[in-house]
């Protein structure tokens, strides 16, 4: 779902327009059938990506990047292994060069949301324009209030400009796929079998001989939506594979961190226990010292008392002796 513009983030300084090692080179030719040459970047400098809601200009830049990339892929397809990675790397570089400072993961997620929102709006507009729905008196999506869109399970703020740009991308993709099918001899053979099956009195037998069905050419944009879903699902699978790999690493790190935390906790508990034991031993030692000092004090007091008593006794004896003499 496209988000409302935000002005809370301050964009980083503009990049120079001349080609740099971090951006793919775009070589335009005068012939209108040629597409820009897309070269993946060899080095990626540290980038400060924007966060938060996408502005309409950023969204249109992403759609333009996706359109240019798909035009290039129709003429020079890449290998399935590197297609997704190179595609979104290039889209990030293009968006960055146009002042849209978003990462390839942000672009991928935003594109999936745009296709989902486009599908909802397109289906609503198609059902509204059909004869069965015209009697309901439903207005255009862009004339609806925000709460009415929410009640109809529609995006709350998709602009017409974004919708038309997405519609152009989906329609071009559908037309390109139709052209590829028409240029494929095997596809033409399947179309001929389909036509024969439509004219034959026993269509079931002929259709069983050709299990691969070919869709009839049409300008209905809803077919393009399915193609958009297929491409989005392919990108989603690649993203899910990365997430699963990252999930395994993350779970391993979590297990190691949990074991480390348990070990540290056990060490802390043992240290605390040893500290308590040392404190108890120290307390007992102090008690023993106090007891020993008390015993010594009492012994000295008794000794002094005995000496005093002895002195008094001797003094008394001498006194009695002197009195007798």
For residue 127, what pLDDT is reported? 87
Q: Sign (positive/negative) of CA torsion 190, 196, 199, 201?
A: negative
pTM check: above 0.95: no
Residue with tokens 């008593």: 309
What is the predicted pLDDT for the residue at 188? 52
* Token pair in block for residue 264: 């540290």
DSSP states of 96-163: HHTT----HHHHHHHHHHHHHHHHHHHHHHHHHHSHHHHTTT---GGGS-HHHHHHTT--S---HHHH
Distance (Å, whole) CA 4 – CA 98: 20
pLDDT of residue 85: 61
Q: H or E element: which one contains 209? A: helix 203-209
With contact defined as beta carbons under 8 Å apart, do 156 and 150 qualify?
yes
What's the rounded Cα separation, in Å, for the pair 119 and 57?
21
User: Which residue spans within 80-152 are E strands per DSSP?
Assistant: none
Looking from the CA of 38 toward its CB, the CA atoms found within 13 Å total 25
pLDDT at residue 265 in the model: 92
Please tell me the predicted confidence (pLDDT) of residue 216: 39
Backbone dihedral angles phi then psi of residue 241, each to the nearest 5 degrees: -60, -45
C-alpha–C-alpha distance, residues 76 and 82, integer Å:
13
pLDDT of 112 reads 93
Question: What are the tens digits of pLDDT across the range 164-180?
Answer: 999 999 888 877 776 66
Stretches in the chain below the pLDDT threshold 70: 1-45, 76-85, 131-137, 178-235
Chain Cα centroid distance, residue 188? 43
Distance of alpha carbon 228 from alpha carbon 243, whole angstroms = 22
Q: What are the pLDDT digits (tens) for 207-243?
A: 443 443 333 334 444 444 454 555 656 667 777 777 7
Whether 90 and 240 have beta carbons less than 8 Å apart is answered as no
């Amino acid at each position: 779902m496209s988000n409302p513009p935000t002005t809370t983030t301050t964009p980083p300084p503009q990049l120079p327009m001349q080609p740099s090692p971090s951006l793919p080179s775009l070589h335009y030719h005068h012939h209108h059938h040629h597409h820009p040459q897309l070269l993946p970047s060899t080095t990626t400098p540290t980038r400060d990506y924007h966060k938060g809601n996408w502005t309409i200009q950023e969204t249109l830049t992403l759609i333009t990047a996706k359109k240019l990339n798909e035009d290039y892929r129709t003429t020079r397809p890449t290998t399935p292994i590197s297609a997704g990675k190179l595609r979104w790397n290039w889209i990030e570089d293009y968006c960055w060069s146009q002042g849209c400072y978003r990462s390839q993961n942000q672009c991928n997620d935003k594109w999936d949301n745009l296709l989902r929102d486009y599908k909802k709006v397109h289906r609503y507009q198609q059902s509204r324009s059909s004869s069965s729905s015209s009697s309901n008196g439903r207005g255009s999506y862009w004339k609806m209030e925000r709460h009415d869109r929410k009640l109809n399970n529609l995006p709350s703020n998709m602009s017409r400009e974004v919708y038309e740009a997405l519609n152009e991308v989906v329609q071009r993709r559908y037309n390109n796929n139709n052209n590829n099918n028409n240029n494929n001899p095997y596809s033409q053979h399947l179309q001929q079998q389909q036509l024969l099956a439509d004219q034959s009195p026993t269509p079931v037998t002929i259709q069983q001989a050709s299990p691969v069905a070919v869709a009839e050419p049409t300008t209905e944009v809803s077919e393009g939506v399915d193609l958009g879903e297929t491409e989005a699902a392919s990108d989603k699978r690649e993203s899910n594979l990365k997430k699963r790999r990252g999930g395994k690493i993350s779970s391993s790190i979590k297990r190691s961190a949990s074991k480390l935390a348990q070990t540290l906790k056990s060490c802390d508990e043992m240290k605390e226990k040893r500290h308590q034991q040392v404190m108890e031993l120290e307390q007992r030692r102090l008690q023993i010292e106090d007891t020993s000092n008390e015993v010594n004090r009492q012994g000295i007091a008794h000794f002094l008392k005995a000496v005093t008593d002895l002195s008094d006794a001797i003094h008394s004896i001498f006194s009695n002796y002197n009195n007798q003499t």
